[in-house]
Structure 1
Amino acid sequence: MTLSWETVDELARRNDRSALIRLLAAATPAERAAAAPVVEAGVTALPADPGMDARTVYALAVVGTAPSAARAVTLLRRPALRAWNWEESALFLALADALDLPWTGDLGARLAARLPARDPWPDDWFFAAALMRAGGVTPPVTEGVVRSWVRSFVRRWKPEGPIPPLVARLRDDPWRDTLLPAVFEIDTIGADLGGVASAGATPAFPAAVAALDREGTLERKTVLSATVDRLLRGGRPNNLRPFILLHDELAPTVDESSTHALDYARLLAAGPGAVATLAQRCLRAVDGAGRLERETLLEASAETLVRREKTLVKAQLSWLAAVARREPARSGDVVVAIAGAFGHAALDVQERALDLVAKHRDRVTPAELERIAAAAAGLGGDLPARAASLFAAAPDPVSAGAAPGSVTAGPGLGALPPGSGVSLVVAPAVAEMPPPIADAAELAEELAALVHVQTGVGWERVLAALVAFHTAGAGEDLAATLLPVTDRYPRWFAPSRWNAGSPFVALGLAIRAATATAGRSDAVVSAGRGGNDPVRQELAAAVRVAWQEGRRGHPHSSLSPRPDGVLALRVAEVAAHLAGSMVPAIVATPTHVNGSLDAGVLLQRLQRAEAEGWQPWPFDFEQALLRVPRVADDLVAVRAARLTTPAGRQFAQWLASGGLPDPISAPVTQPGERGRDGGWTWDVPVPRRVVATLRPARDGGLRLERQLLTLTPVEHPVHTPGDFQGTEDVLAMVFPHHREVAAAWALAEVAALADQNQRDTARNLFPLLAECTGPVGPAMAYALAYALAAKHESDRAAAVDTLLTLAAAEAPFAAPVGAALADLGSDGTITLTRVLPALADLHRAGASVAVWELLVAALPPLLTTTARTVPDLLELASQVAVTLGVRGDLVPGLAGVAARAGSTRVTKEAKRLQSILNP
C-alpha cells in the first residue's frame, strides 16, 4: 500500500485510522515529505462535508505528512476539516510518537492561539492543551486560551473519574502563573468564573484563589491589587460578581485597605452598586482607624449622595453624621457635604439629609450655611418650605408649592398650568416615504435587502416598482437583475412546507410572471412556472376565496388571517393577476413611512385609473382606503365625488363617512394553567396576562373588515408569543389611523416583555404606533403599561418616547394607562419598580400633567394593596404636584392612608402628598 492520495482517501472513506497510522509509520521521512503536497492538494479539493469520521483520517494524514506545525495548522483549519479533532487527542499523540514529530507542542500552541475570544469550543481547547502538555510548551496568553483554561477548571466537560477539588487542580496546574494574571485583565471573563464545581450557588473559583493566597501559593499583595484594579474597570454585574466575592474572601485588613483608599473612594463614587457597597465598607473601616483623609471622604461623598441606590446613600449619610458627631469642632464641611443629598431624586433621602443638617445647624459658619441654603434649591415636595424656615429665608412660591396660579380643577388636566415652567417638545412630523425605485438594478438591491431585513417600507417600494416596471415593458431588465436574486435565495422564494403563506413565495411568482421565464429549468423557476402550477393555483384560489367570502386562513389556505397577512394577500393578488389584468400601478403605496396615504394622492391615482380605463386590484384598493386619514381636505372630497368608476364612487363614500369606524375593544384576562403538580405549565408559564378582544363596530364595509377587526384571544397565555416578531412595522402600516387595532393584535407579545422578560417588541413597534393616529383604547393602554414594566430598558424607553409623543399631541391616554398599571401592579402581574424610572423620566421631560393624571388613576386602587412601590409612587406624585401647583382632594383614598397611625413609609409619603394638596 503506497502513501498516495487515493490510498488516504480510501482509508478515510472506510474510517480505517489504524491502517493509516501504520502506513505513515512505515513510510520513510522522504516518502512522507513527498506525499505532503499530494495530501495538501487532496484536502484542498475535498467537498465541504466529507463526513465526521473521514475528517479525522484526513487530519491524521495532514499531521503525518506536513513539514511543519505552521503548514499543518493551515490545512487543518480548512472548512472541509472542521471539527476534525472531535476524537480524543490520544490518537494524534500516538501518531506523533510513532513518527517522532518534533513540533507536537508547537502544533498545540498554534491551534490554541486560534481559539476564538468568544465562546471557544471545549474540544478545541482540550485537544490543543494535550498537545502542548506532551510537547512541554507553554500556551500563548490570548483571550481564547484564558477563557478556555478557566472553563476547563470551572466546568469539566469530559470528567474522567473523580474530580479533585478546584483548589487542588489550580494548585497543581503548570500554567497557573502564566494564565491566572490574565484572568484579572480580560474584562468579559468574569461570567466564566461564575460556574461552579458542585451544585452550589456560589462560584468556586474565587474561594479557590483565596485559599491559594492564604497558603502562600499566590502572592497576596498581587492578588488584592489585581482584584481592586479589575473592580475599578467596571463592567456587567455577572462579570464583576466573582471578583467581588474574591475581595470578600481575601478580607483586606485595615492596613491593606488604607493602601487602596483612593481606589475605594473612586469605587464608592462611581462603581456599580455592589462594588460601591464593598468600597464603602472598607473606607469606613479605614476611617474608624483614623487613617482616612477628610478630603477623600468629602470628595467621594459628593458623588455618592446623588446615586440611585438609596440604601447606599442613606448609609453614607449615617457615616457622615457619625463623623460630625465625632469631631464637632470640625464638622462644618461635613454638614455641607450632607447637604449634597438635597440633589437626590428621592424625597425621603432629601428629608433625611435635611433632618441631619437641621440637627447640626449650630455647628456651621454663616458662609457654610449660605452654601447649604443654595443647595436647598434642589429640594422637592414639601421640603423647600421647611428648608426656608430653617435658613430664615422666604420660600420660593413655586418650589414651595404655593404658586398663585395653582390648578384646582379635577385630575383631568387639559393643559399645563400658567407659570409651571413645564414644556413639551413638539412631536416631529411623520417622515415621507423614500422616492420610488428608479431602475431594475436598484430594485434588485432592495429585493436582496428585503431578504435580510423585512420592513414595511421596503415591501411597499419593491411591490410598487415591480408592477410599474412590468407595465413599462422592462421584462428583460427585470429578468437580468431580479432572477439572480431569487436564485441566490431559493429558501425564500421557492415554495416549501416551511414557508407556506410567506409573501416571499408570492413575490417570487410575481417576479417570474413579470420576467416571462417559462423556459427556465432551475428549481426556483420551475416551482412557479406556468398557469397550471399548483402553487400559483393555490394562491389564486386563496385570493378568490378572500374576495368572495371575506376571509383568509381558511382550512385550505396558507395565508395568515392576522393583519400582517394583508401584505401576503396583496402580493398573492399581484402574482395571480399580474400577467392577466392590465393594472399599471399599485394604488395603496403609502405617502408616509407609518403607512398613511394622503387622500389627495389616492385621488390622483384613481383619476388616472378612470382616465386610462382600469380598475385597481380589489385588496390593493381596500388597503389604500384603510391608509387614508379620517379627515380629508374638503376640496379632495368634492373632487372625489366627481369620480364615476366603482372604485372612485367607493372612495368618495369612504371620505364622506369618515372612513373605518373605531372597532370595539375590551380587556380580557388569560389565567395561567396549572399542571398536575400545582405549578404553572411550561407552555403557560405566567399566572395572569391581560390581552384584548376586538369586534367591528358595524356590519358590512370592506371585504376583510370583519376578519381584521375580530380578535378572540385563546384561553390561556401563550408561551413567548412571536406572531409579529420582525414584522412589527408591517402590522402597524395596515392600520396607520387605528393604532388600537395594531396594539390589540400585538398585545400578547408586548405583555411578554414584562411577564416573560422578552425583548425588542416595544422597541420595534411603539415608535410606529406613536406616529399613527386614533384613540388610545384598552389595548393600547395595557400595551403601554406592560411596556413601561418591560425587563429591558430599550423597550421601556420606547414606551416613554411614545407617551411623550401622545402628550405632545394632547391625546387622552394618561387615565387609561394609569388604570392599567394599577390593575397589573396590584397583584404583581408586572413589576412596578421598573415603571418608576420611566414615569420620572416623563416628568423630567415635561409631561408632568400626563404623569399626574396617570398617578391619580393608578394610586387609589394601589393604596388598598401592599405593593412595595406605592411609597415611591406617592413620592413621585408629591414632586409632580409641587411642579404643577395642584390643590384639592384629587386622590381618592389618600386622606385615609395619611390619617393612619404609625411611621411606615407609605403613611409618611401619604401625609406628605396630602399636605401638598391641602396645605
Structure 2
Amino acid sequence: MKDLLTAVREGHVKDVPGLLAGLDRAGLRAALAELKQLRKEARGWHWNERERSRDALFVAGAGCHTGAAACATWLAGRDLMGWRRIRVTRVVEVLADRDPAWVADVAHRLAARPAAVESTYELIVGLVKLAGCPVPTTDAFVRGWAEHVSSAPWETRKTRPLTDILRADPYLPVLLPRVFELPELPPQMTWIEETAMNPCQWPVALPALVEEGLIERTALVDMCIARLLRGGKPAEQRLCLALVRRLELTEREEAGHLADWAAMAADGISTVAGHAQEVLGRMHERGELPVRSLAEFSGSVLFRTEKKLVRSQLVLIGKALRRDPSAADELLPVVAEVFGHEDIGLQERALKLVTRYLPSAGDAAREELALSAEQLSPVHQAAASEVFGDLLSERPTAEPYEEVLPIPPAPRPVAPAPATLPELIEEVTLLTSDLRSGFGGSGAPFDVSAFERTLDGLVRHAHTDRTALGNALREALTGRWRIDSEPSPHLRRWLISHAGIEIVVATLLGGESARAVAAGRPSRKPDWRCAHAALDGIRKARLWEAADAVLDGKVPFLLAVPTSHTGSLDPAVLVDRLRAYQRLGVQPGDADFGQALLRVPRGETHHGAAAAAAALGTTEGDRLAAWLRADEPLARVHRFDLKRRTHAAGDLVSTPGTWTHRVLMASEERPFIQRELPRPFHWLGEPHTPTHHLCHHWGERPEGWTSSLPQDAETLAAWMLPNISIGMAEEIRDTMRPLPALAELDAPAGEAVHLAVAYGLACRHHEDRLLAVDALLILAARHRLDAALLGEQLAVLLELGPAKPNRVAESARTAATTGAYRTTLSVLAAVLPGLLARRKAPRGLSDLLAVAAECAEHCGAVRVEPIPGLAETAARGGSSQLVRQAVRLKTAWDQKAGPA
C-alpha cells in the first residue's frame, strides 16, 4: 500500500494496476481510506502537483472501490477529471477482474449522471465493452454519443467521413432513434451547410447509410418528420428538414404524412412551412389533397405574418378552385382570413380570388364573405362594394379617434432604511449574494431603491450600535467573507475594483482597517474614458466614504438617499436632512453631499426650498441654495458629426475606404462642477467630444447611471450616444438598455434623448427595437415627446446611411399596434418627405408608407398640409408596392385631413 500511495503522489499511473493486484480486500479498503485523504490534501496543492498525480489518483481510487455506486461516484468526481481525457485503458485494466454485472452497474450509473457523461463517455464505452452489457440509453449518454461521433472527423489529422464512423459504430441501431427523442439535439449535429455535400455532416451521412441498408428508411423518415412537428430551435429544424430533402421522399411516403405536412404548414418555422407547402402542392396535383383538408389547414396558414407563405397558399387555393369550382363554399370563407392582413397587396389578391369564384358560392357563403370584407383596407372598399353590392353592410359612423398610450410611470417613493437589525441583515444578504450591489452587470436590473436604503441602513445602525451590527453580519455571512483582521491582498484588490456594498460590510466585519479604507480612496484624478466609468467612480467614492463613516460611527444617516426610484431627491427633504446635521454638529461627506446636489431638481419652482436652504446659515446650505436657483443643465450639449474612413469590416485605416457618418452629441465645459464638487465628480464638468470607440460598459444595466444624474437626461443621453450609435451601426445587441431609463427620468427630453431613441428604432435586433419603442411611448405618455424632432432625427440617420427604412418601419408598426397611431404618424410625417424626395426610392420605403397609411386610416391626418412628395409618388402609376402604398396613404390622408 505504501508503494501505491507513493506511485499516486508521483503520478506513476502505469504502475498503479500492478500495485493494486497485490492487495487483498482488506488492503483495498485501507488504501481507499488513504486515497480519500490524499484527494482532500490535493485540493490545496499547486495546480502542477495536482495535475501530475490526478490520473494516478483517479485510477487507483477506481480500483480500490468494491461497491458499484461508490465507484461510480468516484469516477464522476469533477476534481479528478481535469481538462485532459481520462486514461480509459488504465481504469478498464484495474477493473478487468470484476464481475461483469458489477462493471455493467458502474457503467449504467455513470451514464445516468448528466454532468459526468461529458467527461466519462469514452470510459463508459470501455466499461460496456468490458462487461459485454447493453449500451446505456439515457439522454445524457445518447447526447454524449452524438457529440462524440460528430466531433470525431475533426479530431483526426486526416479527415474521416462521418459515414465511415457511423458505419463502424456498433451502437448506431440502438442510439440513433434515441437521438431524435432528445429534448435538444447536440449542437455538433446541427452545424451544417444545407447546400454542401460534406461527408462529415449528418444530412449527407445518414441518407448514405440508408442506401446501404444500415438504417431503416421508414424509421428515419418518421423520426425526422416527428422532430419537425415537435418544433424546437431553428438549427434543429434545419437539420431535420435537410435530411427529409436529401431522402427525396416518394409519393407514397409523402401521402402517408398528409396531416403532418398540414400541421407544419400551419405552425412550423418559415422554411419548414415552405417545404410543407411544396409537398402539399405536389399532392394536390396528384389529386391526393382533399378539399376539406385544404380548408382546415389553410385558415392557419393564411393567418401567418409571412407574406410569401400567405401568397403561396392563395395560389394553392386558386388551383383547387380552378379544378373544382364547387368547393367555393368551403374555400372562399377561408380566403377571407386575408381581408384583415396588414399587407394591402395580399388583401387585393384575396379579393380578386373571391371575386372570380363568388358566383359559385351559395347565399350563406356570400353573406359571410361580405361580412368579412369590412376588414379590408379603405383603399379596397370601392372594389368590395362592386363585388358584394347590397350584401356589404353600410359602415357605421366612426367614433372619434382616441389615442391609447401607456399609463405614465409614476415615481415610486423609496422606502425608509430598514428600522430593525434583522431587516437590514436580510437586505444586505440579498445584495451580497449575487454580486449586484454595485452598478449594473448583465443580470437583473440594478435596484436603486434597495441599494440606497441598505447603504443608508448600514450607516444608521453603525451610528447607533456598531458592535451589534457587526456581530449580526458576521453570523449571517459566515463562510462567505474573510473576516480576518489582516485581509489578503487578493481580497483588498477585489474590494477596491468592485467597490459595492461589500466594501462597507467588510469594513464592519474587520476585514478592512481604517488605514486600508483611506488607501482605497482615489489619491489622484482618475483617468476615466467614458461617462459610465465616471458615474461608477462617483458611486465608489460614496461607498468608500460610507465605509469610513461606519468606522467612526459619527454620521447618523446619508444625505443623498433619493426619494424616488429614479434617483431624484426632493429638495425640501434634503434641507431637512441638512438641518438635522446642523443640529447634531455633523459635517456632511463631500461625495455624499455632491451626489445629493446632482439628484435635486433645479429651477424657479424650487426657489422656496432654496430660501429655506440659505436660511440654515451653513456652507452646505448656501451651496444648495445656489444650486437650486441655477436653472441650467449639468452640461450643455450640441450636435457633433463624427466621420470615419473604414474598411467594410469596420477597422480604422489610413487608406481610402468607405466613409461612415454618425451623428452624436458633444458636451461643453462646466467649470462650476470642478470648483464646487469633489475630485471624483470633476469628469462631469470637463468638455467631452465623442469618439468611434465602444466602451466595455455597453452590455451593463443602466439604472445605476441614470440614478446618479436623474435631473439631466439630456447630458446622460449625450454621453451614452457613442455606445448606442455603434450598437445600431455595427448591429451589436444590448446597447439600447439605457433608453427606457432615460425616458422615465423626470427631466426635459431634448435633441440628445430623441437622437438616442432614433438610433434605437433603427436597430437590427428586435429586442433592442422594443426598448426604443418603450422609450418612445413613455415619452409620449409623459408629454415629453417631440414627434417632429424625433422624425427629423430619424430622417437624418436614414439620409446618412446607417439606418434602414425597413427596421424603422418595424419599430413604427410595433408602436402603432399598441394604440399610439397618431403619435406614430406624427413621427413618420417628419420622416417621409426626405425619403420621398430621393431620385431613387430607398429599399423599405414602401414599408414605411404602409405603416403610415395604416395609422392614417385609424386616426386621420395629423395636420391639414399634405406630406411633401407624397402626391408625386402616388401619381407615378404602376403596380409597385411603393406606388400602391403611397396611393393608400394619400387616400387616407385626404379623407381624414383635419387639425391634429
Q: Specify the TM-score bucket, using the shorter chain as the normaliser.
A: 0.7 to 0.9
Partner AA of 2:56 in structure 1: V
Structure 2 CA distance for partners of 1:441 and 1:495, relative to 1, 3 Å: farther
- Give the alignment partner of residue 182 of structure 1, picking from 178, 181, 187: 178
Counterpart of 2:218? 221
Change (3 A) 1:381 1:625: farther
Q: Could you tell me which runs of 5 or more consecutive residues in structure 2 were left unpaired when the two chains were aligned.
A: 438-445, 896-900
CA 1:750–1:256 in 2, change beyond 3 Å: closer, same or farther?
same
Query: Residue deviations 1:814-870, cap 9 Å, x none?
Result: 333333434444565245544433322211212112211221222233342554321
CA contact (8 A) 1:398 1:882 kept: no
Match of 2:405 among 396, 421, 424: 424
Displacement of 1:558 in angstroms is: 14
Q: Which amino acid aligns with 2:126?
A: A
* 1:563 CA drift (Å): 2.4
Work out whether residues 504 and 546 of structure 2, in 8 Å CA contact, stay in contact via their aligned partners in 1.
yes
Quick one: structure 1 residues 835 and 143, their matched pair in 2 at CA, closer, same or farther if it must change by over 3 Å? farther
CA distance in 1, matches of 2:497, 2:424: 17
Q: CA deviation at 1:708?
A: 1.6
In the TM superposition, 1:449-468 aligns within 5 A as 449-451=430-432, 452=434, 453-454=436-437, 455=446, 456-468=448-460
Label 1:668 to 1:488 Cα distance change in 2 as closer, same or farther (>3 A).
farther
Give the superposition deviation at 1:73: 1.5
Paired letter, 2:414: M
Q: Distance in 1 between matches of 2:368 and 2:139?
A: 51
Give aligned pairs, total: 868
- Give 2:882's aligned residue: 906
Residue 883 (1) aligns with residue 865 (2) = no
Query: Deviations for 1:656-690, whole angstroms, at most 9, x for unmatched residues?
Result: 3446466224243353644xxx7433999997473
Give the stretch that moved more between structures: 559-568 or 97-106: 97-106
Specify which structure has the bigger relative contact order, considering alpha-carbon pairs within 8 angstroms and separated by 6 or more residues.
1
Kindly indicate whether residue 843 of structure 2 is the aligned counterpart of residue 868 of structure 1: yes
Q: How does 1:438-837 map to 2 (within 5 A)?
A: 438-451=419-432, 452=434, 453-454=436-437, 455=446, 456-481=448-473, 485=477, 488-489=480-481, 502=496, 504-505=498-499, 510=504, 517=510, 524-525=511-512, 529-531=513-515, 533=516, 536-537=518-519, 539=521, 541-542=523-524, 552-554=525-527, 562-576=534-548, 582-630=554-602, 632=605, 636=609, 639-640=612-613, 642-658=615-631, 660=633, 663-669=636-642, 671=644, 673-674=646-647, 679-681=649-651, 688=660, 690=662, 692-696=664-668, 699-700=671-672, 702-703=676-677, 707-708=683-684, 710=686, 712-713=688-689, 715-718=691-694, 721-723=695-697, 725-763=699-737, 765-826=738-799, 829-830=802-803, 832-837=805-810
Classify the secondary structure of the residue corresponding to 1:623.
helix
* Amino acid of the structure 1 residue aligned with 2:831: A
Distance 1:630 1:223 in 2: 72
SS in 2 for 1:391: helix
Give SS of 1:141's match.
coil
Amino acid at match of 1:15: G
Deviation of the 1:307 alpha carbon: 0.7
Give distance in 2, aligned partners of 1:56 and 1:540.
Answer: 48
Give the whole-Å Cα distance in 1 for the aligned partners of 2:545 and 2:260.
68
What's the counterpart of residue 74 of structure 1? 73
Question: How far apart are residue 192 of structure 1 and its match?
Answer: 3.2
Tell me, yes or no, if the aligned pair for 2:370 and 2:391 is still in contact at 8 Å: no
How far 1:800 moved relative to its partner?
Answer: 2.0
Aligned counterpart, 1:318:
315
**1:855 equivalent in alignment to 2:828:** yes
- Percent of aligned pairs sharing the same letter: 28
Question: Following TM superposition, by how much is the alpha carbon of 1:277 offset from its aligned partner in structure 2, in angstroms?
Answer: 0.9
Asked whether 1:296 is paired with 2:293, we answer: yes
Query: Conserved in 2, the CA contact under 8 Å of 1:670 and 1:715?
Result: no
- Rounded Cα–Cα distance in structure 1 between residues aligned with 2:801 and 2:414: 43
Q: 1:201 to 1:860 in 2, by over 3 A?
A: farther
Structure 2 letter corresponding to 1:70: A
TM-fit CA distance, 1:364 = 2.8
SS of residue paired to 1:156: helix
Equivalent-residue separation in structure 2 for 1:744 and 1:558 (angstroms)? 11
Letter in 1 for 2:672: G
- Alignment equivalent of 1:364, drawn from 353, 361, 366: 361
The 1-side partners of 2:223 and 2:24 are apart by: 53
TM-score normalised by structure 1 residue count: 0.85
Which residue in the other structure is 2:816 paired with?
A: 843
Q: Does 1:279 align with 2:276?
A: yes
CA distance in 2, matches of 1:48, 1:54: 13
CA separation of 1:682/1:662 partners in 2, compared to 1, >3 Å: closer, same or farther?
closer
Query: Which residue identity does 2:596 align to in structure 1?
Result: A
Q: What amino acid sits opposite 2:213 in the alignment?
A: G
Q: Please give the per-residue CA displacement for 1:740-789, whole angstroms capped at 9, x wherever unaligned.
A: 222233333334544445444534x3342232132333432333233334
* Equivalent position SS for 1:563: helix
AA at the equivalent of 1:338: V
Taking structure 2 as the reference length, what is the TM-score of the superposition? 0.87
- Asked if the contact 2:670–2:685 (Cα under 8 Å) also holds between the matched residues in 1, the reply is no
Distance 2:124 2:520 in 1: 56
- Determine the structure 1 residue equivalent to 2:127: 131
Q: Secondary structure at the match of 2:641?
A: strand
- Farther-moved stretch of structure 1 (609-618 vs 290-299): 609-618
Q: Which residue of 1 aligns with 2:440?
A: none
Name the aligned partner's letter for residue 54 of structure 1.
S
Rounded Cα–Cα distance in structure 2 between residues aligned with 1:439 and 1:8:
59
Residue 347 of structure 1 corresponds to: 344
Deviation at 1:590, TM superposition (A): 0.5
Q: Residues 91-240 of structure 1: matches in 2 within 5 Å?
A: 91-97=90-96, 103-116=102-115, 121=118, 123-156=119-152, 159-160=155-156, 162-189=158-185, 191-195=187-191, 204-240=201-237
Q: CA separation in 1, counterparts of 2:519 and 2:586?
A: 24
- 1:581-634 residue CA offsets vs partner (Å, 9 max, x unmatched): 944221110111111112232232123233334443233223222222346467
How far 1:393 moved relative to its partner? 5.4
Deviation at 1:81, TM superposition (A): 1.7
Gaps of 5+ in 1: 404-417, 518-523, 543-551
Q: Which amino acid aligns with 2:642?
A: T
